Amino acid sequence: MYQVKVIIPIYRLNLSPMEQASILQTLQVLREHPILILHPENLNIPDNMFPPYVAKLAVSEDWLGTRNGIAGYNSMMMSHEFYQLFSDTEYILICHTDAWIFRDELTHWCKQNYDCIAAPWIERPIYRLPIIKQYMKWLKAHKEQNGKFCRQTLYGKVGNGGLSLRRVEAFKEACITYRKEIETYNSHREHCFNEDVFWATVPENFRYPTENTALQFSFDRHPAYCLKRNNGQLPFGCHSWNKPRMYAFWKHIINWEEVLNTKK
């Protein structure tokens, strides 16, 4: 039984320099753990694209690739069949090509006995100012009354899927327990029905870390505020670091060009 496997999903070979650097960083920092490149069946990955210690796992093009896009990926990540692929493993770390790993704390996090660990959705202090708080309360009630999703419902929840540690057995069981809810999620295409929203909000018996503990694992949106909340300490990793609004912060910390040049 493996304690953990690192899963890096890719669906194309022409990765951007930043994506290449992210993967190289993951391979280097987490090389003591089994690492798998998850790819669609029709993607022929050259043998020399990754180091020999990196394995490859092909899945259906319906799940991963351009055929169904994000809908296919969401379906895969809410599928019992997907997690069944890792029945010999206690945890899987989903690590997208826009995630960055700062140091190897994977064994530590696996020992914390959570079912799902990921970056939390943070509520910034500005939303707690009296006038704005009152407006946000009205907006939430208005949206819910009209059957619309309100992002405020995610504040404090743990689950951004781009860098997430998942207990395989718990996810397998949840895929069966919440089959009807998963069907509902798969029938919608709006971002509020993405798989990570499901895993952060629907399972009632999941063990999640607190918001502050989750910040020690990963940052996503508003990294400057996250760093302040985390007492100036970088987390185990981060997600979406190369998006323009996040890169303005991360460019002072992540030297991706150096990682890429080291490979060359």
Tell me if 162 is assigned to some domain.
yes
pLDDT at 189: 82
Distance of CA 124 to the CA centre of its chain: 21
Q: Which residue has the tokens 């996040």?
A: 246
CB 154 within 8 A of CB 119: no
- The residue segments making up the domain with residue 245 are 2-119+156-262
How many Cβ atoms are within 10 Å of 54's Cβ, its own excluded? Answer: 18
143 falls within a domain: no
- Decide if 244 is inside a domain: yes
- Tens of pLDDT, residues 102-125: 999 999 999 999 999 999 988 765
Strand order in the sheet with 116-120: 54-59, 35-40, 2-9, 89-95, 158-167, 116-120
Q: How many domains does the chain have?
A: 1
Two tokens at 51?
């180091």
The domain that holds 194 is classified in CATH as: 3.90.550.10
More confidently predicted of 131 and 104? 104
Q: Which residues contact 20 (CB under 8 A, 6 or more apart)?
A: 260, 263
Instruction: Give the other-Cβ count within 10 Å of 200's Cβ.
Output: 24
Q: Does pLDDT of 57 surpass 80?
A: yes
pLDDT of 143 above 70? no
| Cβ burial, residue 223 (10 Å; 0-12/13-18/19+) | buried
Question: Would you say residue 141 lies in a domain?
Answer: no
The least confident of 55-64, 71-80, 116-125, 172-181 is: 116-125
- Averaged pLDDT score across all residues of the chain: 90
Q: Give the model's pLDDT for residue 138.
A: 45
**181 class by beta-carbon count within 10 Å (0-12 exposed, 13-18 middle, 19+ buried):** middle
Q: Comparing 133 with 87, which gets the higher pLDDT?
A: 87
What mean pLDDT comes out for the span 15-37? 97
Among the listed residues 95, 199, 127, the one whose alpha carbon sits nearest the alpha carbon of residue 157: 199
Question: Quick check: is 42 in a domain?
Answer: yes
Position 145 in a domain: no
Q: What is the structure's pLDDT at 262? A: 85
Considering the domain boundaries, does residue 192 fall inside one? yes
d(C-alpha 202, C-alpha 197), whole Å: 8
> How far is residue 81's CA from residue 86's CA, in Å, rounded to a whole number?
9
Strands (E), the chain: 2-9, 35-40, 54-59, 89-95, 99-101, 116-120, 158-167, 218-219, 237-239
**Phi, psi dihedral angles at 163 (to 5 degrees):** -140, 100
Contact 158, 118 (CB under 8 A): yes
pLDDT, position 77: 98
Of the pLDDT bands very low, low, confident and very high (cuts 50, 70, 90), residue 144 is: low
The predicted structure's pLDDT at residue 122: 87
Q: Is residue 95 part of a domain?
A: yes
DSSP helix/strand/coil, 6:
strand
What is the CA 119 to chain-centroid distance, rounded? 8
